[in-house]
Structures are given as C-alpha cells and as structure tokens.
Amino acid sequence: MRERPAGKIEQSWRRSPSRRAALGSLAGFLLGSPDLFAQQDPFRDHSRVPGLDELLTAFDFEEVAYAKLPRAAYNYTAHGGAGEFTVRRNREAFQWAAIRPKSSAKAAVVDASTEVLGTKMQFPIMAAPSAAHVALHPSKELGSYSGCTAAAGTPMIVSYATSTPFEEIAAAGGGPLWYQLYPREKLEDNRPRLERAQAAGCKAVVVTIDQQAAYYDRSAHDRNLSSRRRRPSVRPGVKPQNPYRFTSTRLWYEWKLFDGLRPMVRTPLLAKGILTPEDALLCIEHGLDGIVVSNHGGRGLDYSPSSLEVLPEIVDAVGGRIPVLIDSGFRRGGDVLKALALGAKAVCLGRVPRWGLASFGAAGVQRALEIVQAELVLAMKQAGCPTLAAADRSLVRLDLP
C-alpha cells in the first residue's frame, strides 16, 4: 500500500524547532541517567555536589573543585611537570614516615601556636603562594585572604602572579600577608614591586628560585597544565637572544641576586625552592633570614626528590640559624606533624586552599584550612605532643626506599 504524503501541518510539525528541542532534552535526560552511566567519569561520582558541611578532608575539596571548575582550570592546579614523578613522590614520601606516639605522655590540651620571623600564628600552617585565583572563583585572592583570615588568621603568601593587586588585598584587612617575588634579571626592575608590597604592609618577602625553564620547556609545561595550546611568547621577527631560545626571565639566577635584593627589602627575606644542604648554607651566607624547602609542588623539575625526604639533612645543615619552612604535597594534619617533627618551623599549603576557593569561595578556604588545623591538633594529642616543642625527631621513623 502506497504511503500517503504528509500534509502541510505534519510537515511543519516534523520541522518544528520545538520538537527538536524536546527530543534533545529527552536525549540529554536519558544520557544523564545514572542507570545508563553515559557521560559518567568512571573514576569520580558527579551525581551530586556535596555541601560544605559534608566535606571531611582536604581531598573532598578536590572532588568538588573538579566538579565545578572548567577542566583547564582544574588541570592547572592539579597537575605537575613532565611525567609527574615528583607529584606522586611528594605524596608517597608521607608513607615512608611513621609517627611513633609517646604513649606515656599526655596531651589533653594542645598549644599549636608559633612565631616565624616575627609573624605570630595559632597554627604552624600558611597558605603558599599560587597564581591567578581568578580562574578558581570570582572573589579571586580577596576570597582566599578572607578565608585565611577566618581560619585562625592563617598567614597568606601572595603570589607575584596574583590576579588582584597586593595593595588591594592588604587594604581588605585581616591576617598577616607575605609577598612572593619572581625576580627579574635587571636588579632595579624588582624594586617597584618590592616597594609597593612593603608599603602595603607585607611581613616578609619570599623569592622563588626553583622555577627555571627554557623557551620550549615552558610552553610544553603550560600546555600540559592547562589543556590549552599556547604559543611561546616570542614576537614574530624578533631574533632570539641565543640559539636555544632560553627565555630572558629564566635560567639566569645567581646567588649574587640576593646581595642586590637585600638592601631593597626591609622585612625578613626568604628563598623558596631549596632541596639541598649546600643551597641552604649558601642562603645563610648571602644573608637570607629563612628558607622554604620546596620542589614547587612537583610543577618544576621532574624526578627531583620530595620535600619531606630531604628536610632532615637541610635542617641539620642549617643548625637552627634560620627557620626552615616547607611545602609540596601536604594535605593532612598528620603530614604537617611529620614535617614539624623533622625540623620544619611551619608548613605551607598550596593546592588545599585553592581547592577550597574553587569549591565554595572564601568559606571553602576557611573550612579546608580548619580541617587541616583540627587534624594537626588531633594528631598532636594522639602522639602525646602538648606543644610543638614536644614534636621532635624521635616522633618520626623515616624509612626511605
């Protein structure tokens, strides 16, 4: 039997945008069904974003940040350099350090307060410098600062690559602020930023010296972190300064830099990115007031050691002459206690407050930091450490592979 041609009304109905939209909505509904597992990440459950009060560890904030952020923004925070060996090693190192509780000691009340280079803090925890908070939350660094201040006045180290001017952050008022500097080869080019930060009230200056990369390495590194294809920043027609196209802002650092910066800095001056006792001793020789043991969270040279595993030898070399801070890989209060027992004066958290900001803004930063602070207090109680002074090296057994 021959099919009857469709009438005008039926043809109009078949071509109707409303019909296509309805079918598209129905398809999306079916594909989003958890029973079909379509478009579901097999490693994570995105069926519902938990509320702030449901998050119990720093790792929970990472899950929420993953769900909320564009993939490029999440990747920039989460990933590291090259094959990410150092990213993994930073976390694995905590498995090599066992806490040996002092069962005979009692710590019903714990005092975790300390002071680092004139900055008083209720907990030996700081927010490490990290770039471009605008990619994480509309409140940007102001949200991070507000969250740090609410979390027992946690000191925040503001990144050189901040998306909010240091002066604007400082004007908001709150906890202590330090300033991080990526130095420029021409010494006087560093003065304006240093003067503005100090005029705004920064309590210390942290100079990062471990992020050295070549023209090609840097481009590949950024592309790996952001999932975006980036072209190297060399203008067409401009002849490179050398045949290997090393960028002028990298691969030039020399120790004499600190001899030149020292007169510009009226606050304590620290070097960030120390991984060897030899470099730690050179920091003292060049008049630095402190160091940060760091591998840049695994975002720099791959196959470098974890910060925790080199901490004891650096502490021994320094011999108490200057405070030793540390970052890279810290997520839990127990992680912090291990570093303190091995000689660190304070621990800087980088990814944890970033996950907090991406998850719930300033409230997320506050909650993420408070969780780590509470974990530290609990670990100190369980280990029999009523004060930070009681957390000495006998508390940790370090079994390196």
Positions marked catalytic: 296
| Pairing mode, strands 346-349 and 125-127 | parallel
Rounded to whole angstroms, the Cα distance separating 281 from 77 reads 31
Rounded to whole angstroms, the Cα distance separating 302 from 27 reads 44
- AA identity, residue 117: L
Q: Within 10 A of 339 (CB to CB), how many other CB atoms are there?
A: 28
| Pairing mode, strands 119-121 and 97-99 | unpaired
Cα distances (angstroms) measured from residue 360 to each of 47, 51, 99, 354? 18, 9, 33, 10
Phi, psi dihedrals of residue 398, rounded to the nearest 5°: -100, 115
Rounded to whole angstroms, the Cα distance separating 263 from 261 reads 6
> Is the CB of residue 361 less than 8 Å from the CB of residue 139?
yes
- Specify the length of the chain in residues: 401
- AA identity, residue 250: R
Rg (CA), the chain: 25
Q: Quick check: helix, strand or coil at residue 248?
A: coil
E-state strands within 220-345 = 269-274, 290-293, 324-326
Token pair 């946690």: residue: 154
Q: Tokens for 283?
A: 């920091």
Token pair 């006087």: residue: 188
b vs e for 164-190, b when ≥16 Cβ sit within 10 Å of the residue's Cβ? bebeebbeeebbbbbbbbbbeeeeeeb
Rounded to whole angstroms, the Cα distance separating 58 from 306 reads 20
Cα distances (angstroms) measured from residue 241 to each of 237, 246, 297? 12, 7, 30
